[in-house]
Structure 1
Amino acid sequence: MENKKDGKILDKGPFYHGTKADLKIGDLLSAGFQSNYYPEITMNHIYFTALQNGAGLAAALAKGDGQERIYIVEPTGEFENDPNVTDKKFPGNPTRSYRSTEPLKIVGEITEWIKLTDEELQNWRERIAKLRENPDAEIIN
Structure 2
Amino acid sequence: MLFKHYDLDNGPFFHGTKSKLALGDLLTPKQPANYGEVGRISNNIYFTATIDAAKWGAELARGEGEEHIYLIEPTGDFENDPNVTDKKFPGNPTRSYRSKQPLKIIGELGSWERHSDE
Please confirm whether the aligned pair reaches a TM-score higher than 0.5, indicating the same fold. yes
> Which residue of structure 1 aligns with residue 48 of structure 2?
49
Listed as ranges, the gaps of 5+ residues in structure 2 are: none
Alpha-carbon separation, structure 1, partners of 2:38 and 2:103:
21
Higher relative contact order, chain-length normalized (CA < 8 Å, sep 6+): 2
Rg larger in structure:
1
> Residue type of the partner of 1:116?
H
> Residue type of the partner of 2:88?
K
Q: How big is the shift at 1:33?
A: 2.2
> Which residue of structure 2 aligns with residue 30 of structure 1?
28
**Considering only aligned residues, what root-mean-square deviation do their CA atoms show, in Å?**
1.6
Q: How big is the shift at 1:51?
A: 0.4
Alpha-carbon separation, structure 2, partners of 1:57 and 1:88:
17
Q: Which runs of 4+ in 1 moved over 3 A?
A: none
TM-score (norm 1): 0.76
Alpha-carbon separation, structure 2, partners of 1:90 and 1:117:
21
Which range is displaced more, 16-25 or 80-89? 80-89
> Residue type of the partner of 1:76?
T
TM-score (norm 2): 0.90
The percentage of aligned residue pairs carrying the same residue is: 56
> Which residue of structure 2 aligns with residue 106 of structure 1?
105
